[in-house]
């Protein structure tokens, strides 16, 4: 009899589910085939051990020997739109500002983004992208036309921050630019010429204009979005109409020498499978590098009354985490559909807008989408990044909405003051996963029960970096209970615990303020003990933990 062995590659997920003592093994996709060391018997023994263990404890079985899939660094991207105070005040203060700046770009924000190794920045929108005409934002700033930002408050757009300023901002941060082109109100020629302006070193009227504006060599921008939210503010299109329009626009998005484009189609709103399937059927796959997806976590589920960023009870806390964790279901469904049409996984899923969306802070412009950022947001962010890591075979870019002063931002500013939000510190902890190899894991977790509903209390992801260090990020969403997490390794290799960091606070709605900017920040964590080849981590309630081992 042939010995059957389990494939633990990340795109075949095994979920161990427990509910009030009832145990079953739920395979989403199961494939048995020959491997060198891992036998079905080992998996069955592990299953039995899970069944036997107490429901107050989580267990994780790690398989570092089979870390093969790369977690793209682009999963840890950001998004900045001409919206509220993201660009103006947040990134751009002007060359004459008393706030330290480099050619108008505020340096404290630059340094903060450099610290977390932001890999890619999406710009200029968002809904703003489909009313943005790039030629308004180049040349002498004093001669640039002033326009109306009709999407976000009807305020005047001075176009002081345009293509050159954005590219300089990316250079200072050390990130790749990702530009969303105007399909909604623009023309094919306008988009084609913008790409030529950015990416061509050949002689032409367009490239001569760039040189006259101070940039001799092409920037060679790789990522290009062909429209934004074409199902909504980008034109209220049907997927069939957009697919035809994409083919036309993408045909004139040219590759210039040394600057091949990674073209990204405007994909579904949340878990809209019809939109995704239409693009997969109607657009030749060679015309796309990826397809975008947008999903926001609205605490109440009501877009008219989304809930406060800081004034919420446990009921709203639970509903926020539940809606945030729904990202896993969305990615499962969308990836399953993509696998039918693209089994070789050439196409990337690009979650280029995600995050918690609450009501604005009292007394602020409702169109500016300025919201505070609490420990709850950090737990959603950490859980979401764990989900992205686990789906890294398909998710190859993601962009948090947004960077500064808008929605679930990582930075808040007030005049010369700047603070780092709890979400910022999640990205600081998780930067170890960038371009690391995903470690397959099996997770059994107790449940966080609230009323008649429950959620898995612990979520996790793990990776091995280029130095061979193993990093595990753990989240305990239970706001009341510490939970022990037992870690086991398939192979007999001895791992040495190096360090741990913890992000938590006394209350779920705690946040950093300009009066108390450091209330929530990472601290050293060492509640880790070894017993034989197992490790037990005592996860505090409502916490994020990063653990590092080496062989």
Is 190 among the residues known to form the active site? Answer: no
> pLDDT class for 8, splitting at 50, 70, 90?
very low
Rounded CA separation 315/257 (Å): 55
| Residue ranges of domains in the chain, CATH in brackets | 54-68+438-550 (2.60.40.1180), 73-433 (3.20.20.80)
Rounded CA separation 178/175 (Å): 9
Q: What is the mean pLDDT of residues 130-145?
A: 97
User: Has residue 350 got a pLDDT over 80?
Assistant: yes
> pLDDT class for 532, splitting at 50, 70, 90?
confident
Residue with tokens 């997806």: 293
Structure tokens at 516: 């108390």
User: What is the maximum alpha-carbon separation in the chain?
Assistant: 80
Rounded CA separation 501/522 (Å): 6
Proportion of the chain above pLDDT 90, given as a percent: 88
Pairing of strands 483-489, 458-464: unpaired
Residue with tokens 């977790």: 445
User: Has residue 3 got a pLDDT over 50?
Assistant: no
Average per-residue pLDDT in the chain? 91
Q: How far is CA 367 from the centre of its chain?
A: 23
User: Has residue 204 got a pLDDT over 60?
Assistant: yes
Q: What is the reported pLDDT for 56?
A: 85
User: Has residue 524 got a pLDDT over 60?
Assistant: yes
Rounded CA separation 200/213 (Å): 15
> pLDDT class for 531, splitting at 50, 70, 90?
confident
Q: What is the mean pLDDT of residues 385-389?
A: 98
Q: Which of 14, 353, 491, 515 is catalytic?
A: 353
Q: What is the reported pLDDT for 232?
A: 97
Q: Is 196 helix (H, G, I), strand (E, B) or coil?
A: helix
First to last CA, the chain: 36
Rounded CA separation 279/130 (Å): 20
CB-count exposure of residue 212 (10 Å: 0-12, 13-18, 19+): exposed
Rounded CA separation 512/519 (Å): 6
What residues contact 299, with CB distance under 8 A and at least 6 apart?
A: 306, 307, 312, 316, 319, 320, 323, 356, 358
Cβ pair 546, 431 in contact under 8 A = no
Structure tokens at 187: 């023309």
What residues contact 157, with CB distance under 8 A and at least 6 apart?
A: 82, 146, 147, 148, 149
Is 111 among the residues known to form the active site? Answer: no
User: Has residue 12 got a pLDDT over 70?
Assistant: no
**How confident is the model over 138-177, as pLDDT tens digits?**
999 999 999 999 999 999 999 999 999 999 999 999 999 9
Bridge partners (DSSP) listed for residue 61: 442, 488
**How confident is the model over 44-78, as pLDDT tens digits?**
444 434 443 446 899 999 999 999 999 999 999 99
Cβ pair 223, 177 in contact under 8 A = yes
Cβ pair 165, 144 in contact under 8 A = no
Rounded CA separation 129/228 (Å): 7
Residue with tokens 């943005």: 132
Q: What is the reported pLDDT for 291?
A: 98
Residues making up the chain, counted from first to last: 551
Q: What is the reported pLDDT for 27?
A: 32
**How confident is the model over 106-121, as pLDDT tens digits?**
999 999 999 999 999 9
Q: What is the reported pLDDT for 55?
A: 61
pTM: 0.90
Q: Which of 203, 229, 240, 277 is catalytic?
A: 229
């Amino acid at each position: 009899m042939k010995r059957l062995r389990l494939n633990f590659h990340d795109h075949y997920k095994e979920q161990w589910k427990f509910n009030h003592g009832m145990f079953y093994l739920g395979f989403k996709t199961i494939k048995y085939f020959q491997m060198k060391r891992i036998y079905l018997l080992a998996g069955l023994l592990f299953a039995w051990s899970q069944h036997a263990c107490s429901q107050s404890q989580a267990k994780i079985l790690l398989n570092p020997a089979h870390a093969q899939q790369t977690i793209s660094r682009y999963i840890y991207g950001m998004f900045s739109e001409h919206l509220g105070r993201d660009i103006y005040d947040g990134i751009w203060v002007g060359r004459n500002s008393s706030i330290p700046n480099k050619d108008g770009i505020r340096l404290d924000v630059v340094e903060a983004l450099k610290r977390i190794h932001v890999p890619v920045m999406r710009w200029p929108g968002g809904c703003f992208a489909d009313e943005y005409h790039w030629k308004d934002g180049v040349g002498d700033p004093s001669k640039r036309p002033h326009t109306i930002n009709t999407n976000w408050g009807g305020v005047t757009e001075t176009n002081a921050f345009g293509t050159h300023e954005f590219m300089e901002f990316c250079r200072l941060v050390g990130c790749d630019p990702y530009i969303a082109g105007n399909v909604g109100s623009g023309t094919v020629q306008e988009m084609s010429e913008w790409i030529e302006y950015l990416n061509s070193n050949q002689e032409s009227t367009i490239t001569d204009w760039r040189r006259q504006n101070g940039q001799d060599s092409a920037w060679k921008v790789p990522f290009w979005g062909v429209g934004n939210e074409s199902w909504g503010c980008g034109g209220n299109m049907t997927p069939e109409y957009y697919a035809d329009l994409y083919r036309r626009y993408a045909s004139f998005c040219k590759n210039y020498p040394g600057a091949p484009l990674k073209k990204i189609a405007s994909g579904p709103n949340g878990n809209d499978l019809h939109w995704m399937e239409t693009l997969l059927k109607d657009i030749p796959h060679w015309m796309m590098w990826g397809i975008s997806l947008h999903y926001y976590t609205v605490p109440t589920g009501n877009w008219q009354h989304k809930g406060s960023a800081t004034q919420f009870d446990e009921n709203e806390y639970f509903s926020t985490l539940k809606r945030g964790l729904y990202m896993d279901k969305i990615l499962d469904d969308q990836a399953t559909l993509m696998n039918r049409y693209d089994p070789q996984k050439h196409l990337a899923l690009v979650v280029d807008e995600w995050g918690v969306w609450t009501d604005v802070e009292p007394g602020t412009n409702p169109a500016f989408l300025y919201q505070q950022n609490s420990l709850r947001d950090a737990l959603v962010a950490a859980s979401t990044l764990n989900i992205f890591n686990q789906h890294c075979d398909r998710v190859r870019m993601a962009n948090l909405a947004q960077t500064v002063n808008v929605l679930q931002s990582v930075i808040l500013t007030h005049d010369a003051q700047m603070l780092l939000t709890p979400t910022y510190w999640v990205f600081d902890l998780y930067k170890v996963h960038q371009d690391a190899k995903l470690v397959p894991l099996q997770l059994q977790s107790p449940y966080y029960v609230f009323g008649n509903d429950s959620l898995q209390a612990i979520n996790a992801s793990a990776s091995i970096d280029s130095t061979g260090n193993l990093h595990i990020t753990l989240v305990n969403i239970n706001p009341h209970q510490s939970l022990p997490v037992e870690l086991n390794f398939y192979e007999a290799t001895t791992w040495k615990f190096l360090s741990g960091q913890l992000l938590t606070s006394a209350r779920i709605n705690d946040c950093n303020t300009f009066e108390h900017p450091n209330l929530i920040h990472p601290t050293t964590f060492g509640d880790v003990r070894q017993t034989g080849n197992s490790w037990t981590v005592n996860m505090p309630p409502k916490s994020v933990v990063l653990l590092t081992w080496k062989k």
